[in-house]
Amino acid sequence: MEGASKWVLFLEACLIFSSLIISFGNYNVAAAKIKEERAERKLANDDQSGFISIDCGLPKNSTYIEETTSINYISDATFIDTGVSKMLSPESRVTHQQQLWHLRSFPEGIRNCYRINITSGTKYLIRASFLYENYDGQNDLPEFELHLGANLWDTVKLENASLSVTPEIIHVPSLHYISICLVNIDSGTPFISAIELRTLKDTTYLTQSGSLSRLRRFDLGSSSNRGYRYNYDVYDRFWLPRAYNKDWKSISTSFTPDSFSQNDYQPPEVVMSTAATPLDATASFDLSWNPDNAGSQYYVYMHFAELQKLPANESRAFNISLNGKYWYGPLVPKYLSTNTIFSQSALSGGQYQFSLYMTENSTLPPIINAIEICIVKDLLQSETEQGDVDAITNIKATYKVSRNWQGDPCAPVTYLWDGLNCSYDGNEPPRITSLDLSSSGLTGEIAPHISKLTMLQYLDLSNNSLSGPMPDFLSKLQSLKVLKLEKNNLTGSVALELLEKSKNGLLTLSVDENPYPCSSVSCKNKKNNIVIPIVASVGGFCILLFAAAAIFWIRKEKKSHETVYKYNGEAVNEVQMSKQGSKEFQNEVKSMLRAHHKNLLSLIGYCNEGDNMALVYEYMENGTLEQHLSFDCNNVLTWIRRLQVAIDAARGLDYLHNGCRPSIIHRDIKTSNILLDKKLQAKISDFGLSKSFETESCTHVSTEPKGTFGYFDPQYYKTKKLNRESDIYSFGIVLLEMITGRSAITRDLDHAPIHIIQWVGLDFWKWIL
Ligand SMILES: *[C@@H]1O[C@H](CO)[C@@H](O)[C@H](O)[C@H]1NC(C)=O
Ligand SMILES: *[C@@H]1O[C@H](CO)[C@@H](O)[C@H](O)[C@H]1NC(C)=O
Ligand SMILES: *[C@@H]1O[C@H](CO)[C@@H](O)[C@H](O)[C@H]1NC(C)=O
Ligand SMILES: *[C@@H]1O[C@H](CO)[C@@H](O)[C@H](O)[C@H]1NC(C)=O
Ligand SMILES: *[C@@H]1O[C@H](CO)[C@@H](O)[C@H](O)[C@H]1NC(C)=O
């Protein structure tokens, strides 16, 4: 096998190996995930799975089990950065459950928000609790707004200091988090005592649109006069007793808990074991409520279960009417079995009078065990698109933005985050279109998260202390029209796409007052003596093999020709492209017309009229490999990318040596002659010095040595015999440059030249070990 083909195979093996390492990494991540999921599933057997119980104001990292409910509460510290923790006086605590003892109050800021991660698309019962108990000594009951994400959920109006208010909503969040915000409306300091989330079954509390806010949830005919929640109720709903009505009486049963059969709503058995029935058996049982707002819409859920074992000659059957019109029936409740009757669509119209009346052949009056009445909450304002929220949240964290950035970034528009602008398009989620973080004391590099704000049109990061290279990723922002980066500490070149857009008037770009802004395509690339750190790379191990092989190759070369070349510090026969003479010109045209390969630069045309000589090549957007190896360059190539470039170049070389008949020896393989196209595919260029082997049998041609100092095969220099191995030698030097980031020739402190092979021989292993 010929040298260049060996390289192709070897480098491809390296690439496969690197990919394997990466997939192995992925496999480990997958395994860890499965483990996590298993742990979660185990948790799902726990009684309180699907519960998030937050005691607001509880000191950070504290947890406890509430005595009366056995609910496990946690501190709110991880869900919010603002507000101050307060506690009720010991005497006012005694009559309340422990989650109400602490509270968080918000003397600062208009909108303060909790951010709680949840599972999107899951039905949640979300409840907030507020108990004042004159915690601040002001004796002044506050009034404020409670927002769920971008929408008003409720106005919290406290009317009795020692009674808790507990607004509750059944809601299916569309994002993987919810924000609960307390909004100051100039009527006292907002505060909150507890936040509780419980997952519900998808089959329950169905609505045609909107979420459901609790108006009433009654345990009818209760004989205990006490409320029930967890752990009587698996979903921790609050059931209040409603026993006394002059026209009603209570009936109850004493069943064994096992015998009760439930439906998906699972009202607690203790609630279902009592029922209300009219005193006068022939009278109807009436339920009604006055709407707070004529436009309100309601859903009603009635829970029934027969509590008496009826003898054969008795029966209980009844119909339900709404505002005097038949609504449902006849209903015959089953013994100790929950049956839930609910409105299939929202009730509206402003009048809600339900009557339960026995059918003609029933011997017993109607009963009802429990009822829930909910108001429809249309949370019409959609929340900002999740990707934008994630990106801006990460940007906030990266730069520790100290502005009042809380809750939804774009909505409601009244509380739009300072420095943002958003697009609001009907029911579509708002998108962030503008980000102004100028003069904000930002340090570090430009955060990659910015590129995730895909609808961004305006980006101003000027007048900060941002450092590092001008990032490439900003060119991913397709809608970007204004980019202000001036007055920072940025270096490197601006991405070509951005320059192009700016040239075409599609982008207003300002990069002035940065130390080394390089705003032209031909950015000066200073070679750097610092070695690009190898360790971070996944393919690092492979690179070692790669290096070892390159060194071995070159050593082998050296060994077989004992005379090691000496550098006198001057260039030997260096031919610069720009000074190409007529011979080189014709030579190049001849070679190029013969050689066609995807890893060779294609000649498009040429002109040869007297002194006017020109070659027209395909355009290579990404310049030379040399530019990309420069440490200053912001397009530093990844290891995998380097391997691919090396494979491309090796393929091109292999084609010249073994694919072309007669073969071509390039004679000037170097990093500046390997060009990269738009997709970073490498192509070999500059055939000005190339030589053809005229015959198959020929192993070498004798010729005056030509090439570039540093890449020059010493054997060829000595013997003047040119063969394929001369190119392979140069290619080895290219590989070393790709690995180390050093030029073929560098100078030491005394300006003496150091060849990369010397450097590798002396320092490389020291550096690796
Ligand atoms: C507040 O509620 C408690 C308990 O229900 C009651 O005793 C008290 O009278 C109420 N106070 C006011 C001012 O309404
Ligand atoms: C059913 O039978 C019982 C006695 O077995 C009697 O007391 C009751 O009045 C009867 N009820 C009706 C509706 O006939
Ligand atoms: C009498 O009640 C039963 C249910 O108990 C019902 O199936 C039947 O249709 C009723 N008859 C009449 C005439 O209402
Ligand atoms: C730049 O930012 C500093 C504070 O970081 C501020 O004092 C100064 O006014 C800003 N200059 C301009 C031109 O905005
Ligand atoms: C700019 O960056 C250089 C290093 O890259 C640092 O020495 C210098 O202090 C920085 N200047 C400012 C104003 O941050």
Range of weakest confidence among 63-67, 259-263, 269-273, 515-519: 515-519
Q: Tell me, using a 6 A CB cutoff, whether residue 361 lines ligand 3.
A: yes
Q: Whose CA is nearest to atom 7 of ligand 2?
A: 313
Are residues 625 and 695 located together in one domain of the fold? yes
**Is 295 part of a structural domain of the chain?**
no
Query: Are 358 and 316 a contacting pair, CB within 8 Å?
Result: yes
pLDDT band at 426 (very low <50, low <70, confident <90, very high): confident
Ligand minimally distant from the alpha carbon of residue 488: 5
**Is 586 part of a structural domain of the chain?**
yes
Model confidence pLDDT, tens digit, residues 126-183: 999 999 999 999 999 999 999 999 999 999 999 999 999 999 999 999 999 999 999 9
| Continuous segment of H or E residues that includes residue 194 | strand 194-199
Are residues 564 and 426 located together in one domain of the fold? no
Q: Whose CA is nearest to atom 8 of ligand 5?
A: 489
Q: Tell me, using a 6 A CB cutoff, whether residue 359 lines ligand 3.
A: yes
Displacement of CA 670 from its chain's centroid (Å): 41
pLDDT band at 377 (very low <50, low <70, confident <90, very high): very high
**Is 736 part of a structural domain of the chain?**
yes
For ligand 4, mutation pick of 463, 464, 485 (most atoms within 8 Å of CB)? 463
- Bridge partner residues of 228 (DSSP): 239
Are residues 647 and 725 located together in one domain of the fold? yes
Q: What is the radius of gyration, based on Cα positions, of the chain?
A: 39
Number of domains in the chain: 2
Are residues 571 and 668 located together in one domain of the fold? yes
Please check the confidence at residue 1 and state whether its pLDDT lies above 60. no
Atom of ligand 3 nearest to the CA of 362: 2
| Continuous segment of H or E residues that includes residue 143 | strand 143-148
Residue 508 Cα to ligand 4 midpoint, Å, equals: 21
Please check the confidence at residue 87 and state whether its pLDDT lies above 70. yes
Are residues 612 and 488 located together in one domain of the fold? no
| Domain membership of residue 732 as a residue range | 540-768
Are residues 636 and 566 located together in one domain of the fold? yes
Strands in 545-633 per DSSP E: 603-609, 612-617
Residues with CB under 6 A from ligand 5: 465, 467, 489
Task: For the chain, give the percent of residues with pLDDT over 90.
Answer: 50
Query: Are 741 and 531 a contacting pair, CB within 8 Å?
Result: yes
Model confidence pLDDT, tens digit, residues 526-571: 333 333 333 333 334 444 455 545 444 444 444 333 222 222 222 2
427: number of Cβ within 10 Å: 7
Last residue of a domain, one of 451, 486, 519: 519
Are residues 703 and 572 located together in one domain of the fold? yes
Highest mean pLDDT among 49-58, 255-264, 532-541: 49-58
Are residues 465 and 545 located together in one domain of the fold? no
pLDDT band at 31 (very low <50, low <70, confident <90, very high): very low
Mean pLDDT of 747-757: 77
Last residue of a domain, one of 467, 485, 519: 519
Atom of ligand 4 nearest to the CA of 463: 1
Give the residue with greater pLDDT, 331 vs 573. Answer: 331
For ligand 2, mutation pick of 313, 360, 361, 364 (most atoms within 8 Å of CB)? 313
**Is 28 part of a structural domain of the chain?**
no
Give the residue with greater pLDDT, 268 vs 629. Answer: 268
Are residues 631 and 564 located together in one domain of the fold? yes
User: What is the domain-level CATH number for residue 651?
Assistant: 1.10.510.10
pLDDT band at 23 (very low <50, low <70, confident <90, very high): very low
Residues with CB under 6 A from ligand 4: 439, 441, 463
* Prediction pTM value: 0.63
Q: Whose CA is nearest to atom 13 of ligand 3?
A: 361
**3-class DSSP assignment, residue 404:** coil
pLDDT at 631: 60
Are residues 469 and 591 located together in one domain of the fold? no
Are residues 646 and 695 located together in one domain of the fold? yes
User: What is the domain-level CATH number for residue 450?
Assistant: 3.80.10.10
Greatest Cα-to-Cα distance within the chain, rounded to the nearest angstrom: 123
Picking from 366, 368, 282, the residue whose alpha carbon sits closest to that of residue 317 is 366
- Bridge partner residues of 368 (DSSP): 276
Query: Are 540 and 548 a contacting pair, CB within 8 Å?
Result: no
**Is 718 part of a structural domain of the chain?**
yes
pLDDT at 495: 85
Model confidence pLDDT, tens digit, residues 435-488: 999 999 999 999 999 999 999 999 999 999 999 888 888 888 999 999 999 999
Are residues 554 and 659 located together in one domain of the fold? yes
Model confidence pLDDT, tens digit, residues 648-665: 999 888 888 887 777 888
Last residue of a domain, one of 519, 552, 581: 519
pLDDT band at 242 (very low <50, low <70, confident <90, very high): confident
Displacement of CA 579 from its chain's centroid (Å): 53
Q: Which tokens belong to 571?
A: 């260039």
For ligand 5, mutation pick of 467, 487, 514 (most atoms within 8 Å of CB)? 467
**Is 639 part of a structural domain of the chain?**
yes
Q: Whose CA is nearest to atom 10 of ligand 1?
A: 160
Place of tokens 């000037």: 668
**Is 138 part of a structural domain of the chain?**
no
**Is 737 part of a structural domain of the chain?**
yes
- DSSP for 258-294? GG-B--TT---HHHHTEEEEESSTTSPEEEEE--SST
Range of weakest confidence among 48-52, 371-375, 531-535: 531-535
